[in-house]
Structure 1
Amino acid sequence: MLKLKNLFFPLLLICVTTLIGCNKNTTSTSEVLSRTELFMGTVVKITLYDSNDSAILDKAFDRVAEIESLVSINEAGTELDKVNDFAGISPVEVTSTTYEIVEKGLEYSKLSNGDFDITIGPLVKLWNIGLDDAKVPTQEEIDSVLPLIDYNLLELNKEDHTIFLKNKGMMIDLGSIAKGYAADEISHILTENNVNSAIIDLGGNIYAHGIKPSGQDWNIGIQNPFSTRGDIIGVLKVKNKTVVTSGIYERYIEKDGVKYHHLLNPNTGYPFENNIAGVSIITDKSIDADALSTTVFAKGLEGGLKFVETLPNVDAIFITKDNKVYITNGIRDSFTLENEDFTLEN
């Protein structure tokens, strides 16, 4: 019996003092302008706290739509779709947007020694977790696609702006990094239009742009991964930072009583197995946080903590399956545990 969980269930909750009403997709008051749309397979919400200029939101959402039209592998005819179609045949010239995202993805594939690998596309398509045709593949099916996953066989030519997958059947999947790129692009647009106080939310990829209108830090509530949305384990104070979470309860399928989450190990072909229920990365750029949330999850608790501590200006919050919370040194003064069901470990 196969069960599919395909619900938007981010592990982050934005806690802001300003209450936002609902009027279709856009809410506007003298202080707040907010719009919510569906892009890149997730709910995208942008809330401006110091501007009533809806044209800014138009620019931001147009940019997100453009990014999706270039790098989605679930829509035929995108640039990334063409790169995948020409795997083992020839390099494909792409726009700077597609090239930049793939280039950053390759950088993190190398940094993680393949724990994070953007050529994981064949395996992602095989499982299709989060889509209607999700399934638990056979071992034979998994064995057939594992040789196609190897970031060392991805060739970039910066001068020509081309991308080449050397073996036929290979496939790039940017699902673990493209939302972060989009969040950063939105933030750039807001800065260019003199917005200094905003929240950008791409399905759990949170960008706290600037500071609150009051001058105070934003309060980011870290969601309890074992409970309904709105039940938080604690609050993190940030300003002009991004907070991105990966967790086993976001998307999964269930077969014969076994749950298979969407964070797939490119070496085994199955979901990563460790004691982490969720990990949140805090840093300056969302594209970095997006890639790192998957990378750090893959390394497990001990390895993930050590890895994060080696990275400049990067912090993390780990929630384990036994309700323990671990945080890195850089946020010890800005994170407060508020749920008695969890314990904060030293």
Structure 2
Amino acid sequence: MLAQDEAQTTDYGMGTVMEHKVYGKNAKEALKAVMAESVRLENRLSRFVPGSEVSRINDSAGLRLEKVGPETFEVLSRAVQYANDSQGLFDVTIGPLVDLWDYKHSTEAPDAARIKRVLPLIKWADLLLDPSEQTAGLKRAGQSVDLGGIGKGFASDRFLAVFREFEISSAFTNLGGNVAALGTKPDGSPWRVGIRHPRQDNRLLGAVSVTDKAVVTSGDYQRFFIDRGGKRRHHLLNPTTGYPAEAGLISVTTVADRAITADALSTLVFVAGMEAGLRLLPQFSGAELVLVDADWHIYLTRGLKDSFQAEQGLRVSLVN
């Protein structure tokens, strides 16, 4: 393929580093359209953008429902579905708890009494959606939606849709580790997506080969601090306890047809733990998992047996 048929960029948006590689005769135009789409989606879905649809929902909590566009309604509907499927282990009303932990500035866990006060606000069933009016709202004042566990996945799916509109059949997008691949590489080979080692910098656990798949990892090493007692306090919060999840896993990678599914599933399986996560997996058709425990033992679901390659010296077992 000729050099002019390739376009790539690394930029910052949606709160993370975004990398795109696009191959095809309309590559440069497609890339421009995706960059515009990222700005448009952030202005709708980010709770940190004043006036965004999610900000309006949060500002109106306990007061009224807000009219929202189709993208916001779709991602919130999906969030409710995943919450229902996981018995609340995935919950986008976790905003007040995320604010309390404040990983950008904290060095200590919040006071237990403050966590106890906030917990009743975390209730996915209080996210009210009216499909006939296309409105969304929160039942009680003080509640807030945070799309950190699903928004990038939704955006990745939208980016691939834009690429397809430009007749692109080979592309790769990476939003801060949320990877989505369109088709194969230009030479026809699968994309190889590396999975970071959760405890050793500049080392991979292995890589998974994919075509037309999303690969998303949730780990306790992505955003965390070590408190005075030496305890790792990571950003993957359990919405039922109010504390970082402690279910025996330090990294969960999901491979799925849609990035929104992979994004939500990696989060909820991390919170649920391996046993409960594997029980939930059949509800997510076609999804596969790479699970890592505290001993760096890797567990693969059987659908990845031929596509995952571990780094030398790491133990790998098949599950389910």
TM more than 0.5: yes
SS at match of 1:168: coil
Q: CA 1:250/1:51 → structure 2, altered by over 3 Å: closer, same or farther?
A: farther
Q: Is the 8 A contact 1:325 1:344 kept in 2?
A: yes
- Which ranges in structure 2 are unaligned for 5 or more consecutive residues? none
The residue number in structure 2 matching 1:249 is 221
CA offsets 1:137-190 (integer angstroms, 9 cap, x no match): 101111111010111111100011111211111111111100001000000011
Aligned 1:1-346 pairs, distance under 5 A? 29-51=3-25, 53-129=27-103, 131-132=104-105, 136-229=109-202, 231-256=203-228, 257-340=230-313, 342-346=314-318
Q: Is the 8 A contact 2:60 2:66 kept in 1?
A: yes
Deviation at 1:134, TM superposition (A): 6.8
Between the two structures, name the one with larger relative contact order (CA 8 Å, sep ≥ 6). Answer: 1
SS at match of 1:345: strand
Q: Distance in 2 between matches of 1:225 and 1:237?
A: 20
SS at match of 2:200: coil
The residue number in structure 2 matching 1:3 is none
SS at match of 1:277: strand
SS at match of 1:185: helix
Q: Distance in 1 between matches of 2:39 and 2:106?
A: 25
SS at match of 2:8: strand
Deviation at 1:310, TM superposition (A): 5.0
AA paired with 1:36? T
The residue number in structure 2 matching 1:15 is none
Q: Distance in 1 between matches of 2:89 and 2:136?
A: 21
AA paired with 1:86? S
- Which ranges in structure 1 are unaligned for 5 or more consecutive residues? 1-17, 19-27
Q: Distance in 1 between matches of 2:50 and 2:95?
A: 15
Deviation at 1:194, TM superposition (A): 1.0
Q: Is the 8 A contact 1:276 1:319 kept in 2?
A: yes
CA offsets 1:295-338 (integer angstroms, 9 cap, x no match): 11111022222322453211010111101000101111111222
Q: Distance in 2 between matches of 1:162 and 1:53?
A: 36
Deviation at 1:34, TM superposition (A): 0.6
SS at match of 1:62: helix
Q: CA 1:309/1:157 → structure 2, altered by over 3 Å: closer, same or farther?
A: closer
CA offsets 1:254-277 (integer angstroms, 9 cap, x no match): 220222000001111100002211
Q: Is the 8 A contact 1:281 1:314 kept in 2?
A: yes
Q: Distance in 1 between matches of 2:48 and 2:123?
A: 21
Structure with the bigger percentage of helix? 2
